[in-house]
């Protein structure tokens, strides 16, 4: 693991870090010298990522955390020695317009994407105040800014994430806390592969190409590219940035 030293001595929590974008962020933070606290509902997946980081020479621990449960979140944050950086990456998706969204699915997305982010922000901000400040990055989405077909419930949750980001940035700017969010378009993760296999059996390559082409740059984003932006926003290099929402979308919003 090549360490720049930018985050040496700092502790970072990354939720949903057992796979995909969260995993890439945890690995990037550890490569920058941080102690990465890998939070994931799946204990085995979280520990696997933490072990990968340790085996590469970095510092990491894992915890099984259900972000939708207050007691689980509070216990995990209480166990931290300190908190300098928080990345709310945990999230789930749903496909369907308002008529195709059962109330149970709407509630399920709210519980994880909205309530989960809220609970982690609440516990994280309290921890950061005690430590003299910190930096927060929430994963919103381009769906929080533009209308995407058949993403009613998902768009609702990501709009809430963007709004919560702005509120935290405004309310705690005087206590040394910065809060920003990023708005990715499609990123190639195991979730995408699973979605295509489930919904388009036998047509995975065709649909993958179609989804990739929907972004002017001609491809999906890479988890490492998302991680690089998150690391920048959490670093001192971004010390004058708070309350901002950064598109990282391969030019997708150029079409809107």
Say how many C-beta atoms besides its own lie within 10 A of residue 212's C-beta: 17
Tell me: do 64 and 139 sit in the same domain. yes
Residue 5 placed within a domain? no
Lookup: tokens for 39: 């939070």
What is the set of active-site residues? Answer: 154
Q: What pLDDT score was predicted for residue 1?
A: 63
Q: What pLDDT score was predicted for residue 194?
A: 87
Tell me: do 99 and 196 sit in the same domain. no
Domain residues for the domain of 233 are: 11-185+222-248
Tell me: do 51 and 96 sit in the same domain. yes
Q: Are 14 and 25 spatial neighbours (Cβ–Cβ below 8 Å)?
A: yes
Residue 122 placed within a domain? yes
Domain count, the chain: 2
Tell me: do 50 and 148 sit in the same domain. yes
Q: What pLDDT score was predicted for residue 221?
A: 96
Tell me: do 148 and 243 sit in the same domain. yes
Q: What pLDDT score was predicted for residue 255?
A: 79
Tell me: do 64 and 45 sit in the same domain. yes
Residue 2 placed within a domain? no
Q: What pLDDT score was predicted for residue 198?
A: 84
Q: What pLDDT score was predicted for residue 143?
A: 95
Spell out the residues 6+ positions from residue 216 whose beta carbon is closer than 8 angstroms to its own.
250, 251, 252, 254, 255
Low-confidence ranges of the chain (pLDDT < 50): none
Tell me: do 18 and 145 sit in the same domain. yes
Cα 229 from chain centroid? 11
H-only helix segments in the chain: 20-31, 43-55, 70-78, 103-109, 116-131, 152-171, 190-199, 204-213, 223-234
What gap in Å lies between CA 15 and CA 80, rounded to an integer?
14
Spell out the residues 6+ positions from residue 87 whose beta carbon is closer than 8 angstroms to its own.
12, 13, 14, 15, 22, 25, 29, 136, 137, 138, 139, 230, 234
Q: What pLDDT score was predicted for residue 117?
A: 98
What gap in Å lies between CA 225 and CA 195, rounded to an integer?
21
Pairing of strands 85-88, 134-139: parallel
Tell me: do 62 and 127 sit in the same domain. yes
Question: Which percentage of the chain shows pLDDT scores above 90?
Answer: 89
**Could you read off the pLDDT of 172-182 as tens digits, one per residue?**
999 999 999 99
The residue written with tokens 């901000």 in the block is: 125
Cα 107 from chain centroid? 20
CA-to-CA separations, 180 to 86, 88, 206, in angstroms, rounded: 11, 11, 35
Q: Are 61 and 35 spatial neighbours (Cβ–Cβ below 8 Å)?
A: yes
Q: What pLDDT score was predicted for residue 241?
A: 98
Residue by residue, DSSP assigns 228-253 as HHHHHHHSGGGTT--S-EEEESTTGG
What gap in Å lies between CA 225 and CA 220, rounded to an integer?
11
Q: What pLDDT score was predicted for residue 184?
A: 97
Tell me: do 58 and 144 sit in the same domain. yes
Phi, psi of 28 (to 5 degrees): -65, -45
């Amino acid at each position: 693991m090549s360490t720049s030293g930018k985050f040496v001595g700092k502790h970072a929590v990354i939720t949903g870090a057992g796979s995909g974008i969260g995993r890439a962020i945890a690995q990037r933070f550890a490569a920058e010298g941080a102690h990465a606290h890998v939070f994931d509902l799946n204990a085995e997946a979280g520990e696997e990522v933490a072990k990968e980081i340790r085996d590469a020479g970095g510092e990491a621990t894992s915890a099984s955390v259900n972000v939708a449960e207050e007691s689980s979140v509070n216990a995990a944050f209480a166990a931290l020695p300190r908190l300098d950086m928080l990345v709310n990456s945990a999230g789930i998706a749903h496909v369907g317009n308002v008529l195709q969204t059962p109330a149970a699915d709407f509630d399920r997305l709210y519980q994880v994407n909205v309530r989960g982010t809220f609970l982690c922000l609440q516990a994280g901000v309290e921890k950061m105040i005690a430590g003299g400040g910190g930096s927060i990055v929430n994963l919103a989405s381009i769906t929080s800014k533009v209308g995407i077909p058949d993403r009613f419930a998902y768009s609702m949750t990501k709009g809430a994430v963007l709004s919560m980001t702005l509120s935290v940035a405004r309310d705690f700017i005087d206590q040394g806390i910065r809060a920003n969010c990023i708005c990715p378009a499609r990123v190639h993760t195991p979730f995408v592969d699973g979605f295509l296999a489930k919904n388009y059996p036998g047509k995975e390559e065709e649909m993958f190409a179609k989804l990739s082409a929907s972004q002017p740059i001609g491809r999906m984003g890479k988890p490492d590219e998302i991680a690089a932006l998150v690391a920048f926003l959490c670093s001192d290099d971004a010390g004058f940035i708070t309350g901002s929402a950064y598109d990282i979308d391969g030019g997708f919003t150029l079409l809107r």
